Amino acid sequence: MSLLDKVGDLLTGGLGKTIVDGIQAYFPPDMPPEQKARLELAIKEQTLQKTQLLHQAAQEERAEFNQRIRDMEGTASDLKRFGWIGSLLIFLRGCQRPVWGYMTLYMDVMWFSGKWSGMTTQQESAMWIVNLLVLFFLFGERGMKNVMPLINRFLSIKRGQS
């Protein structure tokens, strides 16, 4: 495997090789090896170019999204021009994640320790929703995917469905 093949496979996830492997059975049996090699190289180059275009489009989409957020919500530097009020807003904005996290932790400790007993079904549902929202916000989709089986198992045990 040449250096170009390795770089192409690295950038495309091996897509070029996969395509070539898939169509090699359709090469004419009398096709000279040089022509096969040129065709394989052309397929891999095209795959690499298309993959690069996709990566570039994805990067442009992310940049547009980030710019749209900056335009709609502003940045911390925009708030600095409002003096101490702007500084307070920047501080509160930065505190939001830890405050929600610690509030949820406090609610969970009170709830699971039994100090908040006798909650209605609606209140318990609200607790679960707040927990899921905060955990999703703090740990992202991957973290939630890892935790959801445990939550489902806990809920089924709580409902008596073992």
pTM of the model: 0.46
Please give the C-alpha separations between residue 128 and each of 56, 92, 102, 104, 154, in angstroms, as whole numbers: 40, 25, 15, 10, 12
List the pLDDT tens digit at each of the 162 positions of the chain: 554 455 455 555 566 566 666 676 666 777 787 887 787 788 778 888 888 888 898 899 999 998 888 887 777 777 788 889 988 988 988 898 889 889 999 998 998 888 988 888 898 888 888 888 888 887 787 877 888 888 788 778 877 765
